[in-house]
Every structure is written in structure tokens, then in C-alpha cells.
Amino acid sequence: MTMTKKLLTSAVASALMVGGAQAAISDNTVKIGYLADMSGTYRDLAGPNGLKALEMAVKDFGGTVNGTKIEIVSADDRNNPDSSSSTVRRWVENDNVDMVAGLVASSVTIAVSKILEENDRLGIVSGSAASSITNEHCTPNHIHYVYDTYPLANGTASAVVQEGGKSWYLMTADYAFGHALEADVTRVVEANGGEIVGSVRHPFPTQDFSSFVLQAQASGADVVGLANAGSDTTNAITTASEFGVTQAGQTLAALLLFLTDVHALGANTAQGIQLTTGWYWDMNDDTRAWSDRFMEETGVRPTMVHAGIYSSTLHYLNAVAAAGTDDAQTVRKQMIDTPINDMFATDGRIREDGRMVHDMYLAEVKTPAESKNEWDLYKILRTIPADEAYRPLSESKCKLVTN
């Protein structure tokens, strides 16, 4: 190497270092905004207990990053993309929020991620399900952490089809999440040699499912697939059992069930239902130890979303500490470069499209006889390896992925 080249290299290197030092941590605070449904349909699966999980993560991290303090603000998203957008706009433009956590209803997440992209801040999505969030709606400013509709369909739908449920009738929640799940389920059912013989898109939320259950019965399908979530799913299951759907020989497949839903239904009503989950509290010593701490704080067992909020916040704070800055792109790169090994995931990794891929689990709800207490609800049937579970990058429509 010539002298000039050496000089040039060291000049560039020192310029980079100076740049790095200048970036540091903006306004001497790492500010995290927690946006989630705090009072509506999705309150129990994320909600105030998700904020508790976030606070646990900040506390376990020590309350400061490289000597600068960590602040948390929170807001109710009211499942409303418009009001959530203005909340986040205020957070990033006036309050210097660096990272938005929580993010539950898919419609809210898609709206908010655009504002984060405009202002170059980070979003870590723990609650939403739509796989489109890291596909056609991907941005360089958000990470989708816990699960999405792709593995939900891959796990549950393919298991049900392989057990002989060839013809499907779908009940879909009529918004972004339901549409994404419907598309993913249709793909999996057809790929496994089954077919969709009918479907209905119901308003979100719906209380009375009797009309839709009747249509599903008239369709004569083997399987009634529920592409909805929260109280919509539990109401549909209750009505289906009232109208004798399973007694008449049809199988119920709930594509998205959270621990809180199953707990509300109880082992008696929900027994035997198969579901796909990203995490379960009673899998090993690490998950149990963390869940015990969570239960001391909240009085309930954590859902996969609660666990994801805790894990992703720690991963974020570690990245900020390692990079020495809260600059969105630097931190995101650091997060992508570091594998995730904690109570939530083993060898989890974040891809360039923002999707965190990790093992998923096909579970079955225990019978009342098997269930030892009110939260002892799942037995894990099968581990779905990370690469098999999520949409491969080769099929991605994300603008960040070059195929």
C-alpha cells in the first residue's frame, strides 16, 4: 500500500469515527414509545401488561444505556390507524421518541410504519399478524418480531389439511390482518391439495356469528377456518359449539389464538383445537422463570406478544449500547448483525426485510383432565424450524430485498 493510500484510509476511518461520535445519543435520552390497544378487543394480548413487559426489560437492562437515561411514553392506539398516526407523528416530531414498541392491529402498524420511515425512527412490531408488514409494506424502519400470518397458515392449516380436512370454508375479519391471513391460508391449503369452497368477510368486530356459522354449515366444507382474532375468534367458537358444528362432523381451525383467548374459552370449550404460536410460557426453565416474574407483576401468564415485547426491547437496548448511538439505521444494522438468544428465541435472526425469523410451534389445547391449572393449556406437538415457518426471501415482494 502506498503512503497516499494509507493516509487516505486513515483519514476516512477517522472521519467515520468522528461521525460516529457526533451521532451518539440524541438529546441524551433513549425514548421508547409504547403504542398498543389499551382498552379494546386486543387489550389482553398486549395492552397494559405489554407495557409492564417493556418496563421489565428497561429495568433489567439497568435503566440507562451507556450512562444516558431511558424514558418510556405510552398511548392507546384505539385500533384506529388515523389517531395512532397522529400520536406517533407527535412522538417523533415533538417528543424525540427513538423507537416505537407494541404495535398491535395490523392496520395501525402499516399506517405508523410510514411515519417512522419519513422521520427515520425505528418501530418494533410485536403484536401485529399481517405478513404483508414485511412484504409489500416493508420499510427500512421497522422490524416484525413475534409471528405473522405466514407461519400461522403454515403450521395450523397444513396440519389440518394433512389430517384429511381438504375442503375449507373461511370466516375472515374484514381488514388488513384478516385479508393477509386469508391469502396465506388459501396458499397453504391449495399447496397441500385442498380447496377453499366458500368464504365470508365479516365486519370487525362482530358479536353475533350465528348467521355466518349457518352459512359455513350449509357450505358442507370439511373445515371451518377462522381467519380472525381476539373476541371475534372466541365468539365464533362459542357460536359454532352452540350450533353443533363439530358434532355434525366439521372441524374448526382457529388460525390465530392467543393464550388469553384460550384461557377465556377454558379447556372445556377449547380442548383439542390446534394452533400455531411463536412462544409458550411453559416450554423450558428460561420461559418459566421469566413467566413467573411476569405473573408476579401482572397476575396473569404472558402471551407470546408480552414475551416478544420484553425480548425485542432488550435486543434494541443492547444494540444501542453496542453501537453507541440511537440513530435508527445504525441500530437496525446492529440488531440485524446480532443473533437473538434469550428466553424468547434460540438463534433468532432479523432479515434484511425486517422479519425476525425463529422457530414456531404447533400446539394443541389440553383437555380438562390433562390441564393441571388454569394456565396449563397447551401441549407442543411439533417445532416448525425458522426457515420452514416464514416466507422465504426468494418469494419476497419487499423493496429492500434484491432477488
Partner 1 sequence: MSMIFGVPLAVLSGQLLIGFINGAFYALLSLGLAIIFGLLKIINFAHGAMYMLGALVTVVLFNTLGVNYWVALFLAPLLVGAFGVLIEYFLLRRIAGQDHIYSLLLTFGVALIIQGVLTNIYGVSGLRYAMPDMFKGGFKLDFMFLPYYRAWVIVVALLVCFGTWFVIEKTKLGAYLRAGTEDSQLMQGFGINVPLLVSLTYGFGVALAAFAGVLAAPIYSVTPGMGANTLIVVFAVVVIGGMGSIGGAIITGILMGVIEGLTKTFYPPASSAVIFLVMVVVLMFRPAGLFGKEA
Query: CB of 159: closest distance to partner 1 in angstroms?
Result: 25
Query: CB of 112: closest distance to partner 1 in angstroms?
Result: 22
DSSP-derived 3-state class of residue 353: coil
Query: CB of 39: closest distance to partner 1 in angstroms?
Result: 6
Query: CB of 213: closest distance to partner 1 in angstroms?
Result: 9
Alpha helices in 220-303 (DSSP H): 230-242, 259-270, 285-298
Query: CB of 230: closest distance to partner 1 in angstroms?
Result: 8
**Using an 8 Å Cβ cutoff, are 327 and 121 in contact?**
no
Of 33, 40, 155, 194, the one binding partner 1 by CB under 8 A:
40
Stretch that binds partner 1, among 43-51, 313-321, 327-335, 344-352 (CB under 8 A): 43-51
Of 197, 264, 336, 401, the one binding partner 1 by CB under 8 A:
264
Of 33, 36, 44, 100, the one binding partner 1 by CB under 8 A:
44
Based on CB atoms, which residue is closest to partner 1, 29 or 49?
Answer: 49
**Using an 8 Å Cβ cutoff, are 315 and 340 in contact?**
yes
Regarding 41 and contact with partner 1 (CB under 8 A), the answer is: yes
Q: Of the candidates 307, 262, 308, which has an alpha carbon nearest to the alpha carbon of residue 289?
A: 307
Query: CB of 135: closest distance to partner 1 in angstroms?
Result: 24
Stretch that binds partner 1, among 94-102, 108-116, 265-273, 331-339 (CB under 8 A): 265-273
Residue 31 identity: K
Query: CB of 30: closest distance to partner 1 in angstroms?
Result: 30
DSSP-derived 3-state class of residue 253: strand
Based on CB atoms, which residue is closest to partner 1, 54 or 171?
Answer: 171
**Using an 8 Å Cβ cutoff, are 280 and 304 in contact?**
yes
Based on CB atoms, which residue is closest to partner 1, 214 or 289?
Answer: 214
Based on CB atoms, which residue is closest to partner 1, 238 or 346?
Answer: 238
Which of the residues 198 through 257 are near partner 1 (CB under 8 A)? Answer: 200-203, 205-208, 210-212, 214-215, 217-218, 230-231, 234-235, 238-239, 242-244, 248
Other beta carbons within 10 angstroms of residue 337's beta carbon come to 12
Q: Of the candidates 111, 102, 125, which has an alpha carbon nearest to the alpha carbon of residue 38?
A: 102
340: Cβ contacts below 8 Å, ≥ 6 apart: 311, 315, 347, 348, 349, 350, 356, 358
Stretch that binds partner 1, among 5-13, 39-47, 189-197, 287-295 (CB under 8 A): 39-47
**Using an 8 Å Cβ cutoff, are 49 and 298 in contact?**
yes
Which of the residues 159 through 178 are near partner 1 (CB under 8 A)? Answer: 174
Handedness of CA 153, 143, 288, 31 (dihedral sign): negative
DSSP-derived 3-state class of residue 342: coil
Query: CB of 66: closest distance to partner 1 in angstroms?
Result: 37
State the angle between helix axes of 81-93 and 106-119 in degrees (0 to 180), rounded to the nearest 10: 30
Based on CB atoms, which residue is closest to partner 1, 200 or 283?
Answer: 200
Q: In a 10 Å sphere around its CB, with 0-12 CB exposed, 13-18 middle and 19+ buried, how is residue 235 labelled?
A: middle
The span from the CA of 177 to the CA of 45, in Å, is: 16
Based on CB atoms, which residue is closest to partner 1, 244 or 339?
Answer: 244
Distances (CA, A) of 263 to 224, 271, 352: 21, 11, 36
- DSSP class of residue 155 equals I
Query: CB of 268: closest distance to partner 1 in angstroms?
Result: 8
Provide the binding-site residues for partner 1, judged by CB under 8 A.
Answer: 39-44, 47, 174, 200-203, 205-208, 210-212, 214-215, 217-218, 230-231, 234-235, 238-239, 242-244, 248, 260-261, 263-266, 269
